[in-house]
Amino acid sequence: MTTTHLPDEQRVTLFEDRIGPIADGFYSRGRKPGEYDERVLSSLKSYPERRADILAVTRTFTAQFASARRSFEAVFGPVSSDRPVYLLDSLGELDGGTRQLEGKNTLLFGADVIAEVHGAKDMIPFFHHELFHLYQEKNLSRCAAIWCALWEEGMATYVASRLDPGADDDALILNLPEPIRPGVEADRSRAVCAVRRLLDSTRDQDYSALFLGDWQLPGLPSRMGYYIGYLVASDIGRTHDLRAMARMSFVEARPLIDESLQRMAVCDRTSRDRVRQGE
User: Is a pLDDT exceeding 50 seen at residue 278?
Assistant: no
Q: For the chain, give the mean pLDDT.
A: 90
Instruction: Please report the pLDDT score of residue 271 as a whole number.
Output: 44
pLDDT category at 15 given cuts 50, 70, 90 is confident
User: Is a pLDDT exceeding 50 seen at residue 239?
Assistant: yes
Instruction: Please report the pLDDT score of residue 4 as a whole number.
Output: 82
14-21: list long-range contacts, CB under 8 Å, 24+ apart: 15/40, 15/44, 16/40
Contact 54, 65 (CB under 8 A): no
**pLDDT, mean of residues 78-95:** 89
Q: Which of 28-42, 131-145, 189-203, 258-272 has the highest mean pLDDT?
A: 189-203
pLDDT category at 31 given cuts 50, 70, 90 is low
pLDDT category at 272 given cuts 50, 70, 90 is very low
User: Is a pLDDT exceeding 50 seen at residue 226?
Assistant: yes
Whole-angstrom CA distances from 246 to 61, 156, 168, 210, 226 are: 26, 9, 22, 22, 16
Q: Of 68-72, 110-114, 266-270, which gets the smallest average pLDDT?
A: 266-270
pLDDT of 171-188, one tens digit each? 999 999 999 999 999 999
135-143: list long-range contacts, CB under 8 Å, 24+ apart: 135/72, 135/76, 135/79, 135/246, 136/246, 137/98, 137/105, 139/246, 139/247, 139/248, 139/249, 140/249, 140/250, 141/249, 141/250, 143/250
CA end-to-end span of the chain: 55
Question: Can you tell me the distance from the alpha carbon of 88 to that of 113, in angstroms, rounded to the nearest whole number?
Answer: 10
Question: Can you tell me the distance from the alpha carbon of 88 to that of 197, in angstroms, rounded to the nearest whole number?
Answer: 38
2 backbone dihedrals φ, ψ, rounded to 5°: -115, 145
Percent of residues, the chain, with pLDDT higher than 70:
93
Q: Of 73-77, 171-175, 253-257, 271-275, which gets the smallest average pLDDT?
A: 271-275
pLDDT category at 269 given cuts 50, 70, 90 is low
pLDDT of 186-202, one tens digit each? 999 999 999 999 999 99
Q: Which residue, 170, 57, 30, is CA-closest to 113? A: 57
Question: Can you tell me the distance from the alpha carbon of 163 to that of 69, in angstroms, rounded to the nearest whole number?
Answer: 11
User: Is a pLDDT exceeding 90 seen at residue 80?
Assistant: no
User: Is a pLDDT exceeding 60 seen at residue 275?
Assistant: no
pLDDT category at 34 given cuts 50, 70, 90 is low
**pLDDT, mean of residues 45-58:** 94
**pLDDT, mean of residues 21-42:** 78
pLDDT category at 268 given cuts 50, 70, 90 is confident
Percent of residues, the chain, with pLDDT higher than 90:
67
Global pTM value: 0.89
Instruction: Please report the pLDDT score of residue 32 as a whole number.
Output: 63
